[in-house]
Structure 1
Amino acid sequence: MVPPQYYLVLAAAVFCIGVFGLLTRRNALLFLMSVELMLNAANINLVAFSQFWGNVTGQTFVLFTMALAAAEVAVGLGIILVLYRNFAGVDVTDATTMRW
């Protein structure tokens, strides 16, 4: 049996990687991947605590989080397609200039 501390350390590392990617990248696709990493870190925590306490509540919340992540990706890819069509790239700093 793996102690819950290992899962928490893994989730903290994955979350920190996601925050670092969100703060340092300018590519919209990498933004989406970083947000997905942060959501997966939360899912790891939910499953770890669910297993630790012996109930399935955390795993149920993980299913809702996965549905939320799928919807977020669908909306995000639509925004990225519009960004690419209007600015010929997916650099988010180009969108702040308001040039067509």
Structure 2
Amino acid sequence: MIPEVVQRIPLQYYIFFASALFVIGIVGVLTRRNAIIIFMSVELMLNAVNLLLIAFSTYRSDPNGQVFVFFIMAVAAAEVAVGLAIIVMIYRNVRSVDIGLLNKLKW
């Protein structure tokens, strides 16, 4: 059963909102030098995709998109765990999370 509130919101609003979130994530990845902010921007982009998958599956009354969101969330959780472990190791070696200083880790 689809809630009545979701049916009244046009699909274009979800598309515009998810596009704005995705663009904010892209700008964050391309302009920031802090590794933690870059990971947060990647998560923002994944959440924008999840929002679109949920909106499209709700409007089509097809649960496949909602099931696919769970797989994306599992991949995002694994990415956060591995990414934060890498950031901690970089911080231990360089004493900074600035990705501009990573050239010190080269041979």
Q: TM-score, normalised by structure 1?
A: 0.96
CA displacement at 1:69 relative to structure 2: 0.5
CA displacement at 1:97 relative to structure 2: 3.3
- In the alignment, structure 1 residue 50 sits paired with structure 2 residue 57: yes
Alignment map for 1:17-56 (pairs within 5 Å): 17-56=24-63
- Residue aligning to 1:60: 67
SS in 1 for 2:96: coil
Q: CA RMSD in A?
A: 1.3
- Residue aligning to 1:10: 17
Residue ranges of structure 2 left out of the alignment (5+ in a row):
1-7
SS in 2 for 1:95: helix
- Paired letter, 1:9: F
Aligned residues: 100
SS in 2 for 1:93: helix
Note the alpha carbon deviations across 1:19-72, whole angstroms, 9 max, x for none. Answer: 000000000000110000000010011001101111111100111111111000
Instruction: Identify which of 78, 83, 96 aligns with 1:89.
Output: 96
SS in 2 for 1:94: helix
Q: Distance in 1 between matches of 2:51 and 2:76?
A: 14
Q: Distance in 1 between matches of 2:41 and 2:16?
A: 18
User: Which is higher, the Rg of structure 1 or of structure 2?
Assistant: 2
Residue ranges of structure 1 left out of the alignment (5+ in a row):
none
SS in 2 for 1:73: helix
